[in-house]
Every structure is written in structure tokens, then in C-alpha cells.
């Protein structure tokens, strides 16, 4: 199964149509992972500003990844669009 749930809106979509964010194991570096095979805890977001805003507004991304989120990540994600 390749469907994943968006952290921002909660809608389940095919992971190919989503942004993958990974907390790389063991250092918990946060990586925007387009399609690479990086080992660690991952979260997915839809390709829209609303989902990105919701993920950061309530610290949902931080809770899912169980890692501190760098300030510049939000800007980097918005630039991905």
C-alpha cells in the first residue's frame, strides 16, 4: 500500500503526490526527501500552503517526527511549491 496520511489535513493520498519529510536516524536531522531512501521517521504533506501552515501551527509535524523542527523548514517547504 502506497497511501499516506497528510499531517496537515488528514486526507489519505498516494505518497507520490505528497511531500515527504524525514527525521533521519539516529541524528534526527530533518530532510525534505523527494523520493530518496533515507532511514528514519517520516511525515507526509499535501502540496499546498494550507496543509503546510496547519502542520506547523499546532506542532503536528514535531509530534509526528518526534524531533525538533528547524525554523527554516517552513520556508523551504513553501518554496517547494
Element (H, E) at 57: helix 49-57
List, in order of start, the domains of the chain with CATH numbers.
3-72 (3.30.1230.10)
Cell numbers for 78: 513553501
Give the three-state DSSP class for 64: helix
Q: pLDDT digits over 25-70, tens only?
A: 888 889 988 666 788 899 999 999 999 999 998 899 999 999 999 9
- Is 8 a residue whose pLDDT tops 80? yes
Q: Which residues are paired to 23 by β-bridges?
A: 30, 41
- The pTM of the full predicted model, rounded to 2 decimals, is 0.88
Amino acid at each position: 500500500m502506497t497511501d499516506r496520511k497528510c499531517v496537515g489535513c488528514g486526507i489519505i493520498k498516494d505518497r507520490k503526490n505528497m511531500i515527504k519529510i524525514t527525521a533521519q536516524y539516529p541524528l534526527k536531522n530533518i530532510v525534505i526527501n523527494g523520493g530518496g531512501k533515507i532511514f528514519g521517521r517520516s511525515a507526509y504533506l499535501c502540496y499546498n500552503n494550507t496543509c503546510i501552515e496547519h502542520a506547523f501551527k499546532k506542532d503536528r509535524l514535531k509530534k509526528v517526527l518526534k524531533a525538533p523542527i528547524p525554523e527554516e523548514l517552513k520556508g523551504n517547504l513553501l518554496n517547494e511549491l
